[in-house]
Structure 1
Amino acid sequence: MQSPLYLFTVEEYLELEQSSDIRHEYFSGEVFAMAGGSKEHNMLSGNIYSGLRSHLRGSSCNVFMSDMKVKINLANENKTIFYYPDVIVSCDTEDQDRYALNYPCLIIEVLSPSTETIDRREKLINYRTLPSLREYVLISQDQVKVEIYRQDQKGNWTIQTLINIEDGLYLDSVDMTLKMADIYEDVISI
């Protein structure tokens, strides 16, 4: 005999997150523990965060790393999702929730072997439902490779891939360029 899967309410999930030492992502009632990242993963996230933080200091935008959730309401499916992106930026003054962002303009995920498929499919699909999101960036930790999904003024999404260390990652959502050499500093020998 099988036991039914327990589905958490949003309130139960948020309460669990406040008291847990482990971060969990939430998908329509189901809760999934998150694995820790590699040294390279953390260095890439830190390099990107510090570049964005320096650029955005004094602006109305805020940048967060790893411990800030993004909340997605899939109205057509009556589902709520919470993810923990590696780096996330919001420039919306309506983003006043203390533990989750509702209006991010930029989300960056560093790819890991255990999460790459989810980052490329499930998260890509779900993140793109956020009306405020302008860019979703995937960073490889095994090679110099960055993929940028960008929404244009008409709502169409395009993809750009950067593979050269001399390239610059232009982020239209925050009007800045991160040098690939700075992103991969101390991660991949140049």
Structure 2
Amino acid sequence: MSEAFAYSRIPVADYLRAERTADVRHEYVDGEVFAMVGASRRHNHIGGNLYIALRAAADPRGCAVYSNDVKVRVEAANAFYYPDLVVTCAAGDDDPYVVHAPSIIVEILSDSTEAIDRREKRLNYQRLPSLTDLLLVAQDERRIDHYRRGPGGWDHVVYTGGAVVPLEGLGAALRLEAVYAGSGTAQPM
């Protein structure tokens, strides 16, 4: 006779408590936790360039930019994710470990995470009422997939080469040349 495997989900409070002292970051999706892998040097370089550009645009507007180690709560999916960068402009969004009302989220794609970033995370992030812009940033070519909330829903525009990505909520634009400067990422053919 076979025995059924009993699976128990981890409560949110237990996840949050454990995450404060964990040596490895974990994302949380409906009671399951998933360890985060390290990033490449190129990933880190692109993330640094994005942080500098976003911070320059966010600070004058009273917005805050966080990278890597701050979680985003997606209540509708019962999930906590660690995006590569997150911008919040919401007054009162002051939890020291979690952003609850992001305006902009950036995920830098890698071979091991791209499929999850493009499907699960994108769809869940788009459920956040405060989110206006989601950027999926390639590492191996100069390409940013920009999902922008419009009056009729989400618009998707792909920017390549030397294009400029408008971020209307910050009154700013990201130049791909600046995003990829010094990263060794080639322009698309």
Indicate the TM-score class for this superposition, using the shorter chain for normalisation.
over 0.9
The answer for the alignment partner of 1:30 in structure 2 is 32
Give the superposition deviation at 1:52: 1.0
Asked if the contact 2:74/2:125 (under 8 Å) is kept, the reply is yes
The answer for the alignment partner of 2:170 in structure 1 is 174
Deviations 1:65-99 (A, max 9, x none): 0111000111xxxx510000001000000212111
Q: Which amino acid aligns with 1:65?
A: S
Give the superposition deviation at 1:4: 2.3
Does the alignment pair 1:183 with 2:179? yes
Q: 1:189 to 1:116 in 2, by over 3 A?
A: closer
Give the superposition deviation at 1:144: 0.7
Asked if the contact 2:46/2:179 (under 8 Å) is kept, the reply is yes
**Aligned-residue RMSD, C-alpha:** 1.3
The answer for the alignment partner of 1:92 in structure 2 is 90
Give the superposition deviation at 1:5: 2.6
Asked if the contact 1:65/1:87 (under 8 Å) is kept, the reply is yes
The answer for the alignment partner of 1:140 in structure 2 is 138
The answer for the alignment partner of 1:161 in structure 2 is 158
The answer for the alignment partner of 1:12 in structure 2 is 14
Please give the alpha-carbon distance, in whole angstroms, between the structure 2 residues aligned to 1:180 and 1:58. Answer: 22
Asked if the contact 1:170/1:178 (under 8 Å) is kept, the reply is yes
Give the superposition deviation at 1:155: 4.6
Q: Which amino acid aligns with 1:47?
A: N
The answer for the alignment partner of 1:122 in structure 2 is 120
Choose 112-121 or 56-65, whichever is displaced more: 56-65
Give the number of aligned pairs: 184
Q: TM-score, normalised by structure 2?
A: 0.93
The answer for the alignment partner of 1:104 in structure 2 is 102
Choose 122-131 or 168-177, whichever is displaced more: 168-177
Give the superposition deviation at 1:3: 3.5
Asked if the contact 2:87/2:104 (under 8 Å) is kept, the reply is yes
Please give the alpha-carbon distance, in whole angstroms, between the structure 1 residues aligned to 2:62 and 2:175. Answer: 23
Give the superposition deviation at 1:2: 5.2
Please give the alpha-carbon distance, in whole angstroms, between the structure 1 residues aligned to 2:64 and 2:7. Answer: 37
**Unpaired runs of 5+ in structure 1?**
none
Please give the alpha-carbon distance, in whole angstroms, between the structure 2 residues aligned to 1:137 and 1:5. Answer: 35
Q: TM-score, normalised by structure 1?
A: 0.92
The answer for the alignment partner of 1:42 in structure 2 is 44
Give the superposition deviation at 1:58: 3.8
Asked if the contact 1:60/1:93 (under 8 Å) is kept, the reply is no
Please give the alpha-carbon distance, in whole angstroms, between the structure 2 residues aligned to 1:81 and 1:167. Answer: 33
SS for the counterpart of 2:20 is helix
Give the superposition deviation at 1:161: 0.5
